[in-house]
A and B are shown apart, each in its own frame.
Chain A
Amino acid sequence: METKDRNKKRWLYTAALMLLLSVASSFLPVLSYRTQDGQVYRYNLIQLIQGGDFTRQVLYGYTDTVYWEINEAWVTAFAVISVLSLLCAVIGLFTLRQQRPNIMQFWLTMVGLAGTSLPALLVLFAVLVFQKGFPGTLSIGLYPVIAPVAAIISVAAVYRRKNKYQEELRRELQARGKIWQAGESDLY
Protein backbone atom coordinates (compact mmCIF):
# COMPACT_ATOMS: atom_id res chain seq x y z
CA MET A 1 0.00 0.00 0.00
CA GLU A 2 2.81 2.35 1.00
CA THR A 3 4.74 1.48 -2.17
CA LYS A 4 1.61 2.21 -4.25
CA ASP A 5 1.27 5.64 -2.61
CA ARG A 6 4.94 6.33 -3.20
CA ASN A 7 4.59 5.39 -6.88
CA LYS A 8 1.57 7.64 -7.19
CA LYS A 9 3.60 10.55 -5.86
CA ARG A 10 6.69 9.87 -7.92
CA TRP A 11 5.84 12.82 -10.20
CA LEU A 12 5.82 15.12 -7.15
CA TYR A 13 9.12 13.84 -5.78
CA THR A 14 10.72 14.17 -9.24
CA ALA A 15 9.43 17.71 -9.83
CA ALA A 16 10.31 18.85 -6.29
CA LEU A 17 13.79 17.30 -6.48
CA MET A 18 14.46 18.96 -9.83
CA LEU A 19 13.27 22.29 -8.45
CA LEU A 20 15.62 21.94 -5.46
CA LEU A 21 18.48 20.99 -7.78
CA SER A 22 17.76 24.03 -9.93
CA VAL A 23 17.81 26.36 -6.91
CA ALA A 24 20.92 24.70 -5.46
CA SER A 25 22.75 24.94 -8.78
CA SER A 26 22.42 28.73 -8.72
CA PHE A 27 25.07 28.67 -5.93
CA LEU A 28 27.46 26.85 -8.27
CA PRO A 29 29.51 28.79 -10.84
CA VAL A 30 27.26 30.38 -13.44
CA LEU A 31 30.09 31.43 -15.70
CA SER A 32 33.82 31.64 -15.67
CA TYR A 33 36.19 34.06 -17.37
CA ARG A 34 39.79 33.30 -18.33
CA THR A 35 41.80 36.46 -18.94
CA GLN A 36 44.46 36.69 -21.62
CA ASP A 37 47.17 36.15 -19.00
CA GLY A 38 45.50 32.90 -17.87
CA GLN A 39 43.80 34.10 -14.69
CA VAL A 40 40.40 32.47 -14.09
CA TYR A 41 37.42 34.15 -12.37
CA ARG A 42 34.29 32.22 -11.44
CA TYR A 43 30.92 33.78 -10.52
CA ASN A 44 27.73 32.34 -9.10
CA LEU A 45 24.28 33.89 -9.61
CA ILE A 46 24.41 36.08 -6.49
CA GLN A 47 27.83 37.44 -7.41
CA LEU A 48 26.54 38.23 -10.90
CA ILE A 49 23.50 40.07 -9.55
CA GLN A 50 25.71 42.02 -7.15
CA GLY A 51 27.90 43.15 -10.06
CA GLY A 52 31.09 44.59 -8.47
CA ASP A 53 33.99 42.27 -9.25
CA PHE A 54 32.26 40.85 -12.34
CA THR A 55 31.80 44.33 -13.80
CA ARG A 56 35.44 45.26 -13.11
CA GLN A 57 37.10 42.03 -14.24
CA VAL A 58 34.86 41.04 -17.15
CA LEU A 59 32.38 43.64 -18.42
CA TYR A 60 34.90 46.50 -18.61
CA GLY A 61 36.93 44.41 -21.06
CA TYR A 62 34.06 44.15 -23.55
CA THR A 63 34.97 45.84 -26.84
CA ASP A 64 32.21 44.89 -29.30
CA THR A 65 28.91 46.70 -30.00
CA VAL A 66 26.55 46.92 -27.02
CA TYR A 67 23.12 45.83 -28.25
CA TRP A 68 21.45 45.64 -24.90
CA GLU A 69 22.77 47.25 -21.77
CA ILE A 70 21.59 45.20 -18.84
CA ASN A 71 21.30 47.82 -16.11
CA GLU A 72 20.12 47.44 -12.52
CA ALA A 73 16.45 47.72 -13.51
CA TRP A 74 16.79 44.72 -15.83
CA VAL A 75 18.65 42.71 -13.22
CA THR A 76 15.91 43.50 -10.67
CA ALA A 77 13.20 42.52 -13.17
CA PHE A 78 14.88 39.17 -13.86
CA ALA A 79 15.35 38.56 -10.16
CA VAL A 80 11.67 39.32 -9.47
CA ILE A 81 10.53 37.05 -12.32
CA SER A 82 12.75 34.25 -11.01
CA VAL A 83 11.49 34.57 -7.45
CA LEU A 84 7.87 34.73 -8.65
CA SER A 85 8.44 31.66 -10.82
CA LEU A 86 9.86 29.81 -7.87
CA LEU A 87 6.86 30.80 -5.74
CA CYS A 88 4.41 29.74 -8.48
CA ALA A 89 6.20 26.41 -8.86
CA VAL A 90 6.16 25.69 -5.11
CA ILE A 91 2.51 26.77 -4.64
CA GLY A 92 1.53 24.90 -7.82
CA LEU A 93 3.22 21.69 -6.74
CA PHE A 94 1.58 21.83 -3.32
CA THR A 95 -1.90 22.42 -4.76
CA LEU A 96 -1.45 19.77 -7.48
CA ARG A 97 -1.06 17.19 -4.74
CA GLN A 98 -4.81 17.25 -4.16
CA GLN A 99 -6.80 14.52 -5.89
CA ARG A 100 -8.66 16.64 -8.42
CA PRO A 101 -6.58 19.62 -9.45
CA ASN A 102 -7.95 22.14 -11.91
CA ILE A 103 -6.36 23.47 -15.06
CA MET A 104 -5.27 26.76 -13.43
CA GLN A 105 -3.19 24.88 -10.87
CA PHE A 106 -1.61 22.88 -13.64
CA TRP A 107 -0.62 25.97 -15.64
CA LEU A 108 0.57 27.81 -12.52
CA THR A 109 2.98 24.94 -11.85
CA MET A 110 4.09 24.62 -15.47
CA VAL A 111 4.79 28.36 -15.85
CA GLY A 112 6.55 28.44 -12.47
CA LEU A 113 8.80 25.49 -13.23
CA ALA A 114 9.66 26.75 -16.70
CA GLY A 115 10.28 30.27 -15.33
CA THR A 116 12.92 29.05 -12.89
CA SER A 117 15.22 28.34 -15.83
CA LEU A 118 14.88 31.89 -17.21
CA PRO A 119 18.13 33.28 -15.68
CA ALA A 120 20.06 30.24 -16.90
CA LEU A 121 18.72 30.67 -20.42
CA LEU A 122 19.65 34.35 -20.37
CA VAL A 123 23.21 33.55 -19.29
CA LEU A 124 23.46 30.90 -22.02
CA PHE A 125 22.20 33.37 -24.60
CA ALA A 126 24.57 36.12 -23.43
CA VAL A 127 27.64 33.87 -23.44
CA LEU A 128 26.91 32.49 -26.91
CA VAL A 129 26.12 35.84 -28.50
CA PHE A 130 28.61 38.19 -26.83
CA GLN A 131 31.57 35.87 -26.26
CA LYS A 132 33.65 37.22 -29.14
CA GLY A 133 33.53 40.77 -27.74
CA PHE A 134 35.72 39.86 -24.76
CA PRO A 135 39.51 39.72 -24.91
CA GLY A 136 39.55 36.63 -22.69
CA THR A 137 37.46 33.46 -22.83
CA LEU A 138 33.98 33.44 -21.37
CA SER A 139 32.50 30.02 -20.64
CA ILE A 140 29.39 28.73 -18.90
CA GLY A 141 29.45 27.03 -15.53
CA LEU A 142 27.22 24.27 -14.17
CA TYR A 143 24.11 26.37 -13.42
CA PRO A 144 23.16 27.25 -17.04
CA VAL A 145 23.30 23.52 -17.85
CA ILE A 146 21.64 22.07 -14.75
CA ALA A 147 18.76 24.55 -14.39
CA PRO A 148 17.19 24.13 -17.88
CA VAL A 149 17.59 20.33 -17.76
CA ALA A 150 15.98 20.27 -14.29
CA ALA A 151 13.14 22.47 -15.57
CA ILE A 152 12.50 20.16 -18.54
CA ILE A 153 12.42 17.07 -16.30
CA SER A 154 10.09 18.69 -13.74
CA VAL A 155 7.74 20.06 -16.43
CA ALA A 156 7.63 16.59 -18.03
CA ALA A 157 6.83 15.01 -14.65
CA VAL A 158 3.94 17.42 -14.03
CA TYR A 159 2.62 17.01 -17.59
CA ARG A 160 2.70 13.24 -17.20
CA ARG A 161 0.86 13.50 -13.92
CA LYS A 162 -1.89 15.51 -15.68
CA ASN A 163 -2.34 12.83 -18.35
CA LYS A 164 -2.24 10.08 -15.73
CA TYR A 165 -4.84 11.87 -13.65
CA GLN A 166 -7.12 12.18 -16.69
CA GLU A 167 -6.60 8.49 -17.47
CA GLU A 168 -7.45 7.46 -13.90
CA LEU A 169 -10.50 9.71 -13.87
CA ARG A 170 -11.69 8.27 -17.19
CA ARG A 171 -11.27 4.73 -15.91
CA GLU A 172 -13.26 5.60 -12.79
CA LEU A 173 -16.02 7.21 -14.89
CA GLN A 174 -16.07 4.22 -17.25
CA ALA A 175 -16.44 1.89 -14.28
CA ARG A 176 -19.40 3.98 -13.10
CA GLY A 177 -20.92 3.89 -16.60
CA LYS A 178 -20.70 7.66 -17.03
CA ILE A 179 -18.53 7.52 -20.14
CA TRP A 180 -17.96 4.68 -22.58
CA GLN A 181 -16.67 3.73 -26.01
CA ALA A 182 -19.45 4.30 -28.50
CA GLY A 183 -20.72 1.20 -30.21
CA GLU A 184 -23.62 -0.38 -32.06
CA SER A 185 -26.01 -0.01 -29.12
CA ASP A 186 -25.59 3.78 -29.34
CA LEU A 187 -27.03 3.71 -32.85
CA TYR A 188 -30.07 1.59 -31.76
Chain B
Amino acid sequence: MGSNYKLTYGVDLVFCIDVTMSMDHILDTVKKNALRFYQDFQVIMKNKHKNVSELRIRIIAFRDYYYDREQAMLVTDFFHLPDQAADFKACLTSIEASGGGDDEEDGLEALAYAMKSKWNTTAQKRRHVIVVWSDDGTHDLGFGKSAPNYPANMAADFNELTRWWGSRTSPGVMDESAKRLIIFAPNKKSWNKITDNWNNVIQYESEAGDGLADCDYEQILSAIGNSI
Protein backbone atom coordinates (compact mmCIF):
# COMPACT_ATOMS: atom_id res chain seq x y z
CA MET B 1 0.00 0.00 0.00
CA GLY B 2 2.85 2.29 0.92
CA SER B 3 4.38 1.95 -2.57
CA ASN B 4 1.16 3.16 -4.20
CA TYR B 5 1.17 6.28 -2.11
CA LYS B 6 1.90 9.36 -4.18
CA LEU B 7 2.46 12.83 -2.84
CA THR B 8 0.28 15.49 -4.37
CA TYR B 9 1.74 18.86 -5.21
CA GLY B 10 -0.07 22.15 -5.21
CA VAL B 11 1.79 24.74 -7.21
CA ASP B 12 0.85 28.41 -7.11
CA LEU B 13 2.52 30.88 -9.43
CA VAL B 14 2.25 34.63 -9.44
CA PHE B 15 3.52 36.31 -12.59
CA CYS B 16 4.51 39.91 -11.90
CA ILE B 17 4.83 41.48 -15.33
CA ASP B 18 6.21 44.93 -16.04
CA VAL B 19 3.75 46.31 -18.62
CA THR B 20 5.27 49.73 -19.19
CA MET B 21 5.94 51.04 -22.70
CA SER B 22 9.59 49.92 -22.67
CA MET B 23 8.35 46.31 -22.44
CA ASP B 24 6.29 46.71 -25.62
CA HIS B 25 8.62 44.68 -27.85
CA ILE B 26 8.94 41.76 -25.40
CA LEU B 27 5.53 41.73 -23.76
CA ASP B 28 4.11 39.45 -26.43
CA THR B 29 6.92 36.96 -25.74
CA VAL B 30 6.17 37.09 -22.01
CA LYS B 31 2.48 36.55 -22.67
CA LYS B 32 3.19 33.71 -25.10
CA ASN B 33 5.44 32.02 -22.54
CA ALA B 34 2.87 32.46 -19.79
CA LEU B 35 0.21 30.89 -21.99
CA ARG B 36 2.26 27.84 -22.90
CA PHE B 37 3.55 27.44 -19.35
CA TYR B 38 0.90 24.96 -18.23
CA GLN B 39 1.61 22.40 -20.98
CA ASP B 40 5.40 22.72 -20.68
CA PHE B 41 5.27 22.48 -16.90
CA GLN B 42 3.14 19.33 -17.03
CA VAL B 43 5.70 17.69 -19.33
CA ILE B 44 8.54 18.51 -16.91
CA MET B 45 6.59 17.19 -13.93
CA LYS B 46 5.65 14.03 -15.81
CA ASN B 47 9.32 13.40 -16.60
CA LYS B 48 10.11 13.81 -12.92
CA HIS B 49 7.29 11.36 -12.04
CA LYS B 50 5.66 14.00 -9.92
CA ASN B 51 1.95 14.54 -9.78
CA VAL B 52 0.88 18.17 -9.67
CA SER B 53 -2.71 17.96 -8.51
CA GLU B 54 -3.34 21.67 -8.61
CA LEU B 55 -1.69 24.41 -10.63
CA ARG B 56 -2.86 27.97 -10.21
CA ILE B 57 -1.54 31.12 -11.83
CA ARG B 58 -2.18 34.73 -10.90
CA ILE B 59 -1.16 37.84 -12.86
CA ILE B 60 0.05 41.14 -11.46
CA ALA B 61 0.63 43.71 -14.20
CA PHE B 62 2.60 46.62 -12.84
CA ARG B 63 3.55 50.09 -14.01
CA ASP B 64 4.18 53.22 -11.98
CA TYR B 65 1.76 54.69 -9.39
CA TYR B 66 3.17 58.19 -9.74
CA TYR B 67 2.66 58.37 -13.50
CA ASP B 68 -0.03 55.84 -14.29
CA ARG B 69 -2.41 56.26 -11.31
CA GLU B 70 -5.44 53.95 -11.86
CA GLN B 71 -3.56 51.91 -14.44
CA ALA B 72 -0.53 51.35 -12.20
CA MET B 73 -1.35 47.93 -10.80
CA LEU B 74 -3.78 45.46 -12.36
CA VAL B 75 -4.26 42.13 -10.63
CA THR B 76 -6.22 38.93 -11.10
CA ASP B 77 -7.21 36.14 -8.77
CA PHE B 78 -5.58 32.72 -9.14
CA PHE B 79 -6.71 30.84 -12.24
CA HIS B 80 -7.00 27.06 -11.87
CA LEU B 81 -5.35 25.54 -14.93
CA PRO B 82 -6.40 24.01 -17.24
CA ASP B 83 -10.05 24.60 -16.20
CA GLN B 84 -9.83 28.39 -16.32
CA ALA B 85 -7.39 28.59 -19.22
CA ALA B 86 -9.79 30.71 -21.31
CA ASP B 87 -10.11 33.39 -18.61
CA PHE B 88 -6.37 33.30 -18.00
CA LYS B 89 -5.73 33.83 -21.71
CA ALA B 90 -8.29 36.64 -21.92
CA CYS B 91 -6.70 38.46 -18.97
CA LEU B 92 -3.23 38.16 -20.47
CA THR B 93 -4.51 39.34 -23.86
CA SER B 94 -6.18 42.39 -22.31
CA ILE B 95 -2.89 43.66 -20.94
CA GLU B 96 -1.12 46.18 -23.15
CA ALA B 97 2.22 47.92 -22.80
CA SER B 98 1.78 51.58 -21.97
CA GLY B 99 2.86 54.34 -19.60
CA GLY B 100 5.68 54.00 -17.13
CA GLY B 101 6.95 57.57 -17.01
CA ASP B 102 10.62 57.38 -16.01
CA ASP B 103 12.94 54.34 -16.27
CA GLU B 104 12.28 52.69 -12.91
CA GLU B 105 8.92 51.08 -12.11
CA ASP B 106 6.95 50.05 -9.02
CA GLY B 107 8.20 46.46 -9.05
CA LEU B 108 8.51 46.34 -5.24
CA GLU B 109 4.83 47.19 -4.80
CA ALA B 110 4.02 44.38 -7.25
CA LEU B 111 6.14 42.02 -5.15
CA ALA B 112 4.27 43.09 -2.03
CA TYR B 113 0.92 42.26 -3.64
CA ALA B 114 2.35 38.95 -4.85
CA MET B 115 3.56 37.97 -1.38
CA LYS B 116 0.13 38.61 0.07
CA SER B 117 -1.67 36.39 -2.44
CA LYS B 118 -4.16 33.83 -1.15
CA TRP B 119 -1.79 30.87 -1.43
CA ASN B 120 -2.82 27.22 -1.49
CA THR B 121 -2.58 25.74 2.00
CA THR B 122 -4.30 22.39 1.46
CA ALA B 123 -1.96 20.34 -0.76
CA GLN B 124 0.45 17.92 0.97
CA LYS B 125 3.44 19.50 -0.77
CA ARG B 126 3.21 23.12 -1.72
CA ARG B 127 5.24 25.45 -3.85
CA HIS B 128 4.51 29.17 -3.94
CA VAL B 129 6.46 30.82 -6.72
CA ILE B 130 6.64 34.47 -7.67
CA VAL B 131 8.11 35.20 -11.11
CA VAL B 132 9.02 38.79 -11.98
CA TRP B 133 9.60 40.01 -15.53
CA SER B 134 10.98 43.50 -15.90
CA ASP B 135 13.42 45.34 -18.09
CA ASP B 136 14.44 47.93 -15.50
CA GLY B 137 15.08 48.67 -11.84
CA THR B 138 12.54 49.64 -9.21
CA HIS B 139 11.59 52.83 -7.41
CA ASP B 140 11.89 52.90 -3.65
CA LEU B 141 8.69 51.82 -1.95
CA GLY B 142 6.37 54.78 -1.54
CA PHE B 143 7.64 56.70 -4.59
CA GLY B 144 4.10 56.89 -5.91
CA LYS B 145 2.48 57.64 -2.55
CA SER B 146 0.94 60.83 -3.92
CA ALA B 147 -1.34 58.78 -6.18
CA PRO B 148 -4.86 58.64 -4.67
CA ASN B 149 -5.05 54.88 -5.26
CA TYR B 150 -1.74 54.09 -3.54
CA PRO B 151 -2.61 51.63 -0.74
CA ALA B 152 -2.17 52.90 2.80
CA ASN B 153 -1.21 49.44 4.07
CA MET B 154 1.65 48.95 1.61
CA ALA B 155 5.06 48.05 3.09
CA ALA B 156 6.57 51.37 4.14
CA ASP B 157 10.12 50.64 2.98
CA PHE B 158 12.48 47.94 1.79
CA ASN B 159 13.11 46.73 5.36
CA GLU B 160 9.42 46.11 5.94
CA LEU B 161 9.12 44.30 2.61
CA THR B 162 12.11 42.18 3.66
CA ARG B 163 10.23 41.28 6.85
CA TRP B 164 7.20 40.33 4.74
CA TRP B 165 9.42 37.99 2.73
CA GLY B 166 10.90 36.60 5.94
CA SER B 167 13.82 34.30 6.59
CA ARG B 168 14.43 30.87 8.08
CA THR B 169 14.74 32.29 11.56
CA SER B 170 11.98 34.83 11.22
CA PRO B 171 9.25 33.71 8.76
CA GLY B 172 7.32 36.38 6.91
CA VAL B 173 3.87 36.39 5.36
CA MET B 174 4.59 33.40 3.08
CA ASP B 175 5.11 29.72 3.84
CA GLU B 176 8.86 29.63 4.47
CA SER B 177 9.48 26.20 2.95
CA ALA B 178 7.15 26.73 -0.02
CA LYS B 179 8.19 30.19 -1.18
CA ARG B 180 10.43 30.87 -4.15
CA LEU B 181 11.16 34.08 -6.03
CA ILE B 182 12.45 34.05 -9.59
CA ILE B 183 13.48 37.41 -10.96
CA PHE B 184 14.07 38.06 -14.61
CA ALA B 185 15.36 41.62 -14.56
CA PRO B 186 18.55 43.63 -15.00
CA ASN B 187 21.08 43.81 -12.19
CA LYS B 188 19.68 47.12 -11.00
CA LYS B 189 18.10 48.61 -7.89
CA SER B 190 16.39 46.88 -6.02
CA TRP B 191 16.53 43.51 -7.78
CA ASN B 192 20.23 43.09 -6.96
CA LYS B 193 19.57 43.98 -3.29
CA ILE B 194 16.85 41.33 -3.14
CA THR B 195 19.06 38.68 -4.73
CA ASP B 196 21.88 39.45 -2.27
CA ASN B 197 19.79 39.60 0.88
CA TRP B 198 16.69 37.44 0.61
CA ASN B 199 16.55 33.65 0.77
CA ASN B 200 15.08 31.35 -1.93
CA VAL B 201 15.68 33.85 -4.72
CA ILE B 202 17.04 33.19 -8.19
CA GLN B 203 17.79 36.10 -10.50
CA TYR B 204 18.27 35.73 -14.22
CA GLU B 205 19.95 38.87 -15.26
CA SER B 206 18.69 40.58 -18.38
CA GLU B 207 19.96 43.58 -20.25
CA ALA B 208 17.96 46.71 -19.52
CA GLY B 209 15.40 47.11 -22.28
CA ASP B 210 16.16 43.71 -23.76
CA GLY B 211 15.96 39.98 -23.15
CA LEU B 212 13.42 37.21 -22.71
CA ALA B 213 14.48 34.88 -25.45
CA ASP B 214 13.23 31.31 -25.50
CA CYS B 215 16.35 30.12 -23.60
CA ASP B 216 15.42 32.45 -20.72
CA TYR B 217 11.97 30.96 -20.61
CA GLU B 218 13.46 27.44 -20.55
CA GLN B 219 15.64 28.52 -17.60
CA ILE B 220 12.66 29.83 -15.68
CA LEU B 221 10.68 26.70 -16.47
CA SER B 222 13.43 24.37 -15.29
CA ALA B 223 14.10 26.53 -12.21
CA ILE B 224 10.47 26.10 -11.15
CA GLY B 225 10.54 22.41 -12.08
CA ASN B 226 13.73 21.82 -10.08
CA SER B 227 12.35 23.56 -7.03
CA ILE B 228 9.55 20.98 -6.70
Contact = CB atoms under 8 A, between A and B. Distances in A.
| Overall SS of chain B's interface | mixed
Contacts of A184: 151-153
Contacts of B149: 181, 183
Nearest to A180: B75
A177 to B, nearest CB: 8
Contact of B113 (A167, A173, A179, A186): A186
Contacts of B74: 170, 179-182
B219 interface: no
B113 A182 contact: yes
A187 B28 contact: no
Contacts of B224: none
B73 A173 contact: no
Q: Report which residue of B70, B77, B94 has the largest number of chain A beta carbons within 10 angstroms of its beta carbon.
A: B94
Nearest to A188: B116
5 contacts: A103-B28, A103-B32, A167-B96, A178-B76, A180-B75
Interface residues of B, number: 27
Given A180-B74, A181-B74, A187 B94 contact: no
Shortest 3 CB-CB distances between A and B: which pairs? A182-B73, A170-B94, A169-B94
B154 interface: yes
B56 to A, nearest CB: 14
A135 B71 CA distance: 60
A179 B75 contact: yes
Contacts of A181: 70-75, 149
Contacts of A76: none
Given A182-B60, A182-B73, A187 B91 contact: no
A65 interface: no
B90 interface: yes
